[in-house]
Structure 1
Amino acid sequence: MLLDTPICDYGWKAPDFTLKDANGNAFTMSDHLGEKGLLIMFICNHCPYVKAIATRLAADTKQLMAEGINVLAVMSNDYHDVEADSPKNMLSFAKQHGFEFAYLVDEDQQVAKQYGAVCTPDFFGFNYLGELQYRGRLDDARLQDAPNREPELLQAMQMIAAIGKGPKQQTASMGCSIKWR
């Protein structure tokens, strides 16, 4: 089912969490907040929207990380029902697309519920205080690789890193619904 993300609730405080990646390494959100902020994104392996943006997502997040902006990805789908989203497949999907960020398993789906995540991809851009400043889309290219795309997420996170606030104009992300238990 196709869904759009809600509008940004500016200033909403990010709930802390600890999740493990597919190799069993634990990551705590508050440890990654950082002085330039944190991007938390809810993605999965099987969603056609995530597949369509995966290469651009890898490039934009690599640039953000090089600029000192931290990035975590969370996979909250019920992978017992959707095998393509299993931890084993998360490893191969991340390798295939060159993801350099931690890709975490939300086994009990509590993090997605705490954050109000509705679809994949769903982007949450936080400032250094853990206040939500961005809840938009990756870019304006949608499902195509457009050479002259507007990298909205990249620009928003750079703005958040520079001044602690995100853009007032944001376009909702669009994607597949999270597969709840």
Structure 2
Amino acid sequence: MAVSPPVCDFGAPWHDFTLPGTDGRTYGLADVRGPRGTLVMFICNHCPYVQSIIDRIVRDAGRIQAAGIGVAAISSNDADAYPEDGFAEMKAKADRHGFTFPYLYDETQAVARAYGAECTPDFFGYNARGELQYRGRFDQSGRSKGPDDARPELLEAMLLIADTGRGPDKQVPSMGCSIKWKHG
């Protein structure tokens, strides 16, 4: 079932974390934050919403990083129930798609809960002061990739944040698969 997160809570603070990356390093917020902002995205391997845009995410992440914004992707799904979202599979996906940003594993799901992540993909765009400025969609894509000329909403928002410290007033919420929470 598709899930849509709430609209942006402008000014909400980011949350620190310490998570293992698929590159063998451990990352905290200080390791991924950029001088002009930070994008924290919750994704996973098996979600068709993520699969439909993963190449666009990698493409736009490069432009976002070039603008001085740090980027990190986090998978918080229950890998026991969804083995395709396990750490080894995450590493393979990052390698296959040429991720230029850390792909982190939130095994306890504490980071997803702290951020209030609800779906994959779920994007949290912060300004340089760590204030939430974007909680919208990537573009108009859904379970299937949108048109090649789809407006790059996330990219535009993050570049605006890099330039002004403020995200767009009008944002369309992301839509995707629910986070696969552990039970028990």
Q: TM-score, normalised by structure 2?
A: 0.95
Match of 2:17 in 1: 17
**Structure 1: stretches of 5+ with no match in the other structure:** none
- What is the aligned residue count? 181
Superposition deviation, residue 89 in structure 1: 0.3
1:122-133 matched pairs, under 5 angstroms: 122-133=122-133
Superposition deviation, residue 22 in structure 1: 2.8
Superposition deviation, residue 145 in structure 1: 4.3
CA contact (8 A) 2:40 2:74 kept: yes
In 2, Cα distance between the equivalents of 1:97 and 1:49? 16
Match of 1:88 in 2: 88
Matched letter for residue 61 of structure 1: A
Superposition deviation, residue 127 in structure 1: 0.3
CA contact (8 A) 1:137 1:171 kept: yes
In 2, Cα distance between the equivalents of 1:26 and 1:61? 20
Matched letter for residue 50 of structure 1: V
Listed one character per residue, the Cα deviations across residues 93-133 of structure 1 (whole Å, up to 9, x for unaligned) are 11222221100000100000000000000000000010000
Matched letter for residue 22 of structure 2: A
In 1, Cα distance between the equivalents of 2:151 and 2:123? 16
In 2, Cα distance between the equivalents of 1:52 and 1:175? 11
Match of 1:38 in 2: 38
1:35-114 matched pairs, under 5 angstroms: 35-114=35-114
Listed one character per residue, the Cα deviations across residues 141-170 of structure 1 (whole Å, up to 9, x for unaligned) are 332241211000000000000010000000
Structure 1 segments, 4+ long, off by >6 Å, are none
Match of 2:162 in 1: 161
Q: Cα–Cα, structure 1 residues 100 and 154, in superposed 2: closer, same or farther, change >3 Å?
A: same
Superposition deviation, residue 23 in structure 1: 4.2
Matched letter for residue 162 of structure 2: A
Match of 1:140 in 2: 140
In 2, Cα distance between the equivalents of 1:100 and 1:31? 14
